[in-house]
Amino acid sequence: MYVDPGLAILRVVVGGVVMAHGLQKLGFLGGAGPTSTIGMMGRISVKPEPLWAAVLVAAEVGGGALTALGFLGPVGPSLIVADMIVAAATVHWPNGFWNHRGGIEYSLTLGTAALSIALIGNGAWSIDRLIGLTMPDWLIQGWIAIVILGVVLAFVSRTTAEADQGQAA
């Protein structure tokens, strides 16, 4: 078996794709830039929009880079998982399953691949292994709790924003 090279390929592709997607939100790689990203947060009713746009960019650029490099254990992949959960539920779910209709297919695939990396670990071909970094279970569990809290807060901010819009109508 070639587990370590396979895991390295998976990390680099998933991390690289998500990082590039985040860079688009900053206006690079043909992306529309921060103003459009903040506007998207408004369209999906995640408030305050500038804060959640910054969180989104940090999750995609930072999480993607950490995943691609295999650095800091499950930190990067779990950021991607959280990002894909929120994206699937807020942007893609109403469009069904298939990606060509804007559905959840793509975010589900990236999120599942990132979750697999988080559970398996970065492997031998990683920065973590190169520098001998291991993360204690309590730190990993704490980080996962923080990520889950972030997802919940994103949904709560959305629910609160939708309730505010309903009262204004």
16 phi/psi in degrees, rounded to 5: -65, -40
Spatial separation of the C-alpha atoms in residues 44 and 12, rounded to whole Å: 29
Any idea what the Cα angle at residue 152 is, between residues 148 and 157, rounded to 5°? Answer: 145
What confidence tier does 110 reach under pLDDT thresholds 50, 70, 90? very high
**What would the mean pLDDT of 111-115 be, rounded to a whole number?**
95
CB 53 within 8 A of CB 37: yes
If you search the block for the tokens 């001998």, which residue do you land on? 132
Q: Would you state the pLDDT for residue 160?
A: 66
Cβ-based neighbour number of residue 86 at 10 Å: 23
Which distant-in-sequence residues (6+ apart) come within 8 Å of 130 by Cβ?
none
Give pLDDT tens digits for 41-95: 998 888 899 999 999 999 999 999 999 999 999 999 999 999 999 999 888 888 8
Quick one: which of 86, 88, 68 has its CA closest to 76?
Answer: 68
Cβ-based neighbour number of residue 115 at 10 Å: 17
What confidence tier does 155 reach under pLDDT thresholds 50, 70, 90? confident
Spatial separation of the C-alpha atoms in residues 63 and 72, rounded to whole Å: 10
